[in-house]
Amino acid sequence: MKPTDRIFCAIDTTDVDAATALAGRLVGHVGGIKLGKEFFTAHGPEGVRKVTACGMPLFLDLKFHDIPNTVAGAIRAALPLNPAVLNVHASGGRAMMEAAAEAAAGADGTLLIGVTILTSLSDEDVAEVGYTGSAAESVVRLAKLAEASGLGGVVCSPREIEAIRAACGPDFKLVVPGIRPTWSATGDQKRIMTPADAIRIGADYIVIGRPITGADDPIDAAKRIADELAGL
């Protein structure tokens, strides 16, 4: 896998023309783009199709979380967009994840993953919403449940990569946000790591948004990150 293939650029905007232009510019410099709830709520499937017309692989980050039948239906509705990565909240439970996995089973090339604990949450935040143990302990517990439910991987922060690898093995895919190059601001992410360090300890894919999209020259920023990964 080329260093650029490991990078998904998070394009968080409601401006469909800006998203489309940036996606086109990033072709060959990152492995794919991530579109989430902000963009999808504003523009829906047609907006997604416009942005991905450049051929970029898509991480459709909608974090489905509902009763099993509803989530299965949402997965089936999303598959015509040909997402390379699609996700559900692992906290939705085993039955929900099994229904999602069954709905996605016929989609060649779509990796279905579970969201464990959001990277914006600290140990204190996790305790406040009722989880027992630390954020890291909750992440590993949810990752094991996701694997047992038939998902192909999880989203996790960089700080939990090694623990999930130990619990779930080398073939379970880890998609890792909370990535910040040393030259960028941390923003609202609390459990962060540099791109090279995350890949070095076992991330399969890294998700990077503002260090690329907020840069004066997004292409140069993407190249700097890829160069860092090429040195591994």
* Cβ contact 140:164 at 8 Å: yes
Structure tokens at 76: 């089936």
Q: pLDDT digits over 144-197, tens only?
A: 999 999 999 999 988 899 999 999 999 999 999 989 887 765 555 455 689 999
Under the banding of pLDDT at 50, 70 and 90, the label for residue 95 is very high
pLDDT band of residue 127 (cuts 50, 70, 90) is very high
Residue 63 appears among annotated catalytic residues: yes
CATH number of 3-230: 3.20.20.70
Whether the full predicted model's pTM is greater than 0.75, yes or no, is yes
Least confident range from 21-25, 46-50, 56-60, 137-141: namely: 137-141
Rounded distance between C-alpha atoms, residue 154 and residue 163, angstroms: 13
pLDDT for position 17: 97
Residue 121 has a pLDDT of: 83
pLDDT tens per residue across span 197-216: 999 999 999 999 999 999 99
pLDDT at 167: 97
Q: Which residues contact 164 (CB under 8 A, 6 or more apart)?
A: 139, 140, 143, 154, 156, 172, 174
What the block records as the tokens of 160 is 């939990």
When pLDDT is averaged across residues 2-22 and rounded to a whole number, the result is 96
Catalytic residue among 63, 144, 173, 223: 63
Instruction: Tell me the per-residue pLDDT of 98-124, one tens digit each, with 9 for 90 and over.
Output: 999 999 998 888 999 999 988 788 889
Give the largest CA-CA distance in the chain. Answer: 45
Average pLDDT, the chain: 93
- β-bridge partners, 175: 155, 205
What average pLDDT score do residues 73-96 get?
A: 97
Give residues with Cβ within 8 angstroms of 68, minimum separation 6: 95, 96, 98, 99, 100
